[in-house]
């Protein structure tokens, strides 16, 4: 038991550290892309010439944002899900299906991370670089196996959480919460406004009768 708690605590500390790193990377990448594009537009309009390297830097930043964003989405359970069938289940059936989904996602992402590492090795052996700045492509694409591996780790931790906790978690830190839709409060398409509450309507009619 002590060994298991120690492992979980270590994973949580590692998860916290990686979460901070993800935030720094995403904020830096988005701000860099914005500043680069603003500078490029100003250069074209004011001096008739922009940055020749802007396209390849933007492509590199998009790769970084995409794969770090995959890990970030998995951390908060915000990745796109097709949940039409999943939403039909309740209780232990929904939890069991959640465990199957997160486990399968982790296995697939671990395998994709492995393939990405092999691709990185090939890129390094080839020695391909970007045309304008001469940056080795394998350095830019290092974020691909990193993002896939972290996302797989997040799904694995979600599976572990659901196996050890009574509640249903959509990620390691966040509960699965569904808001019940009040069908009586749905907007009436014919009227273009939500229907009045029956209790309030009866009270209004009664008050009007008293005034008359």
Q: In angstroms, what is the C-alpha Rg of the chain?
A: 26
Length of the chain as a residue count: 212
Give pLDDT tens digits along the chain (212 positions): 566 677 778 777 888 888 898 899 999 999 999 999 898 888 888 887 777 788 888 988 999 999 999 988 888 877 777 677 777 778 888 888 888 988 999 999 999 999 999 999 998 888 888 887 888 888 889 999 999 999 999 899 888 888 887 888 788 777 777 655 454 554 555 555 555 554 454 444 544 544 44
Quick: pLDDT tens for 1-51: 566 677 778 777 888 888 898 899 999 999 999 999 898 888 888 887 777
Q: Write down the pLDDT at residue 82.
A: 67
Look-up of token digits 């590692």: 14
pTM of the model: 0.74
Q: What would the 3-class secondary structure string for 48-72 be? A: CCCCCCHHHHHHHHHHHHHHHHHHH
Q: Write down the pLDDT at residue 198.
A: 47
Q: Write down the pLDDT at residue 145.
A: 94
State CA 142 to chain mean position distance.
19
Please state, in angstroms and rounded to a whole number, the distance separating the CA atoms of residues 182 and 94: 22
Please state, in angstroms and rounded to a whole number, the distance separating the CA atoms of residues 148 and 73: 11
**Angle at the Cα of 193 from the Cα atoms of 187 and 194, rounded to 5 degrees:** 50
Please state, in angstroms and rounded to a whole number, the distance separating the CA atoms of residues 194 and 211: 27
Q: Write down the pLDDT at residue 191.
A: 52
φ, ψ for residue 193 (rounded to 5)? -150, 160
φ, ψ for residue 142 (rounded to 5)? -60, -25
Look-up of token digits 């591996």: 149
Nearest by Cα to 148 from 201, 74, 198:
74
Q: Write down the pLDDT at residue 201.
A: 47
């Amino acid at each position: 038991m002590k060994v298991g708690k120690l492992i979980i605590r270590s994973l949580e500390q590692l998860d916290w550290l990686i979460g901070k790193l993800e935030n720094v990377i995403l904020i830096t990448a988005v701000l860099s892309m914005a500043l680069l594009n603003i500078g490029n537009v100003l250069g074209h309009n004011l001096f008739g010439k922009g940055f020749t390297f802007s396209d390849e830097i933007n492509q590199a930043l998009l790769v970084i944002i995409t794969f770090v964003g995959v890990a970030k989405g998995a951390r908060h359970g915000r990745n796109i899900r097709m949940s039409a069938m999943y939403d039909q289940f309740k209780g232990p059936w929904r939890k069991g299906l959640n465990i199957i989904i997160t486990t399968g996602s982790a296995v697939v992402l671990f395998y994709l991370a492995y393939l990405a590492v092999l691709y990185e090795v090939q890129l390094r052996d080839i020695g391909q670089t970007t045309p304008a700045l001469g940056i080795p492509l394998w350095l830019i694409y290092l974020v691909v196996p990193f993002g896939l591996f972290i996302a797989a780790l997040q799904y694995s931790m979600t599976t572990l959480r659901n196996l050890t906790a009574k509640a249903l978690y959509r990620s390691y830190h966040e509960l699965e919460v569904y808001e019940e839709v009040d069908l009586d409060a749905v907007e009436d398409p014919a009227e273009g406004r939500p229907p009045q509450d029956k209790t309030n309507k009866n009270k209004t009619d009664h008050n009007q009768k008293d005034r008359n």
